[in-house]
Amino acid sequence: MRFRKPSLEDKKRYIGFYIESEERLGRKEVLNELWSTGLSFLGEAEMAETGFWVHDCFDDQLIVEVRDGYVDEILAVVSLVNEIKNERVRLDLLGVAGTIRKLKKSFILNQEK
């Protein structure tokens, strides 16, 4: 099996969100709502092209991976989410970075201070 060179791999972007809700939400509920909203808004083919993947879902923070060039589409999907399991919820953008390490260092760790 031949491997692709790193320069030929798809570039990725990591997006950090702050989850604001009255009740604590589980990873599964957040993930299901994001996927269903994405599928209804973008469709199955374009949602697959975005490379959407949830990396971490802490108590009130979320890290999402997408392919470079699809950040705006995912931000549009996230802006449409306003209710999860009949609970009002707001997802605020913390930042976008090229690596998880940079995202945590620049946005998530600064949020906790």
Supply the pLDDT for residue 94.
Answer: 92
Torsion angles phi and psi, residue 69, rounded to 5: 100, -10
Q: Is residue 85 part of a domain?
A: yes
Residue 1 lies in a domain: no
Length of the chain, in residues: 113
Residue 71: both structure tokens together? 């950040």
pLDDT at 88: 93
In this prediction, the residues of the chain whose per-residue pLDDT falls under 50 are none
Q: What pLDDT score was predicted for residue 59?
A: 75
Residue 31 in any domain: the answer is yes
Kindly state whether residue 27 falls inside one of the protein's structural domains. yes
Residue 5 counted as domain residue: no
For 31, other C-beta atoms within 10 Å of its C-beta total 16
R_g (Cα) of the chain, nearest Å = 15
CATH code for the domain in which residue 24 is found:
3.30.70.3250
Give a yes or no: residue 2 inside a domain: no
What's the pLDDT at 65? 93
Q: Residue 61: which domain range?
A: 10-112
Domain annotation covers residue 96: yes
Looking at the domain assignment, is residue 4 inside a domain? Answer: no
Per-residue model confidence (pLDDT) at position 96: 94
Question: What is the number of domains present in the chain?
Answer: 1
pLDDT given at position 23 = 85
Sheet hosting strand 12-21, strand order edge to edge: 53-57, 61-67, 12-21, 87-97, 83-84
Question: pTM (2 decimals)?
Answer: 0.85
pLDDT for the residue numbered 109: 65
Closest CA relative to residue 78, chosen from 26, 23, 36, 27: 36
